[in-house]
Amino acid sequence: MLRSVFNNGRGISLVTTPQIANLLARQTEFSSVGSDTPLSRISRRGVTQHTTSQSKSIRATQPIQQGQLVMVNKAVLLVHPSYWNISWPQREEITRLAISRLPGGTQKAILNLSSPPDQINLYLSYIVWAHAGFPMVIRDQKHNVLFTGISLINHSCAPNSHNRVESISFSGVVTAARDIQEGEEITISYWVDSDHSMHLRSFVERQQYIERNGRFRCECAYCEQGKAKDEILGSLLDQQKSLQQKLESSSIAGSDLPAAFKLEKLYHSLGLEILMNVPYNIIAKTYSAMGREKLASVWLERAANILALSGVETPQQQHGVDAS
Ligand SMILES: [Zn+2]
């Protein structure tokens, strides 16, 4: 199914069941011509594509502050989970059909995702396999979406930006998790959903996981340091475990507050701001145990904000719940 007027004429192709395609077609966002939401107006501000013969990346063209929007994109292709179970030739045929019906500019932008660019005879299904790792849950089915901009952002095991997919608006949203310098590469986590815990694994465990799941080889700045950060990670995990045990046994007290703030510092020193909801929650619960409810709610709100930026969608935010 195709909607070529979607997103100011950039179009979107849906490879899914007729039932889900009909459900999506009824969404206001999908059926409105040339929708111009506030989000799309500020998309791609302050970043640019950086291309070498080896790789592509997105870099900041100006300093970006923590919490600022880095990029907003609307999906150009959505694929049903069964897409991954069909044979390669069939998948290639379907992908070619889905992409061929998109407007020319969008087709070009999809080809631009491949590295090296402009390869003749390139498998389009390979581009989808390599770049459509963004999940969008529709009727409890984990679809994947492809973006032309956000799909160019590389993974880091300690990324400087949050990324989330808003299924209601078909948008991907990237927000700075910490201050980003001019010229710095924008990075996000490809370990979405439950795999987010992979950021707290040792260098060797991360590499093994990446090898097993094999969509890419991680050459992020964090991994380039090899095992150097494993020791700090070890103290972070020890500190966190001890605090969580105290929380579970309701023995946490004001004397644990310095340890809770130390945990927050350890997250910062590893560049794991995308997971900062964990120490924030522990700080909140420690304040709560001390009877300081106002401070507790401030830290709880901070934790909730981090989760929102990471795209933890509530069932109400997902497609199809109202219609089922
Ligand atoms: Zn890495």
Confidence of residue 324 (pLDDT cuts 50, 70, 90): very low
The whole-number pLDDT of residue 115 equals: 66
Instruction: Determine the distance separating the centroid of ligand 1 and the alpha carbon of 158, expressed in angstroms.
Output: 7
Global pTM? Answer: 0.87
Closest to 149 (Cα-Cα) out of 55, 76, 61: 76
- CA 55 to ligand 1 centroid distance, Å: 16
Q: Is residue 303 a contact partner of residue 277, using CB atoms and an 8 Å limit? A: yes
- Cα–Cα distance between 206 and 198 in angstroms, integer? 7
204 Cα to the center of ligand 1, angstroms: 10
For residue 145, the cross-strand partners are: 78, 134
Mean pLDDT of 15-25: 87
Q: 188 C-alpha vs ligand 1 centroid, how far in Å?
A: 11
Q: How far is the CA of 300 from the centre of ligand 1 (A)?
A: 29
Q: CA torsion angle for 82, 86, 89, 93 (degrees, to 10)?
A: -30
45: CA distance to ligand 1 center in Å? Answer: 26
CA of 205 to the centre of ligand 1 (A): 11
- Please give the distance, rounded to the nearest whole angstrom, from the Cα atom of residue 270 to the centre of ligand 1: 12
Q: Are 132 and 144 in contact (CB under 8 A)?
A: yes
Question: How much distance in Å is there from the Cα of 230 to the middle of ligand 1?
Answer: 13
156 alpha carbon to ligand 1 midpoint, in Å?
5
Phi, psi of 74 (to 5 degrees): -100, 145
pLDDT at position 31 is 63
Which tens digit of pLDDT belongs to each residue from 88-99? 999 999 999 999
CA 207 / ligand 1 centre spacing (Å): 8
What is the reported pLDDT for 114?
A: 81
Q: Is the pLDDT of residue 315 over 50?
A: no
Q: How far is the CA of 31 from the centre of ligand 1 (A)?
A: 40
Q: What is the pLDDT of residues 33-42, one digit of tens each?
A: 555 454 444 5
* C-alpha 310 – ligand 1 centre gap (Å): 18
How far, in Å, CA of 109 to CA of 148, rounded? 6
- Assigned token pair, 244: 């969580």
pLDDT band at 160 (very low <50, low <70, confident <90, very high): very high
Q: How far does residue 138's CA lie from ligand 1's centre (Å)?
A: 30
Tens digit of pLDDT for each residue in 65-108? 999 999 998 999 999 999 999 999 999 999 999 999 999 989 98
Tell how far the Cα of 222 is from the centroid of ligand 1, in angstroms: 6
Could you tell me what percent of the chain has a pLDDT over 90?
50
DSSP string spanning 183-205?
A: TPBPEE-S--GGGGGGGGS-HHH
List phi, psi (to 5°) of 111: -65, -30
Q: What DSSP string describes 113-180?
A: TSSSSS-TT--HHHHHHHH--EEEEETTEEEEEE-SSGGGSEE-SS-SEEEEEETTTTEEEEEESS-B
Dist. CA 197 → ligand 1 center (Å) = 13
Alpha carbon of 84 to ligand 1 centroid (Å): 25
- Is residue 173 pLDDT above 70, yes or no? yes
Residue 242 has pLDDT above 70, yes or no: yes
CATH topology of domain 2-190: Beta-clip-like (2.170.270)
- Segments making up each domain of the chain, as ranges: 2-190, 227-308
**Alpha carbon of 218 to ligand 1 centroid (Å):** 5
Could you tell me if 199 and 274 are in contact, meaning their C-beta atoms sit under 8 angstroms apart?
yes
Beta bridge partner(s), residue 175: 69, 162
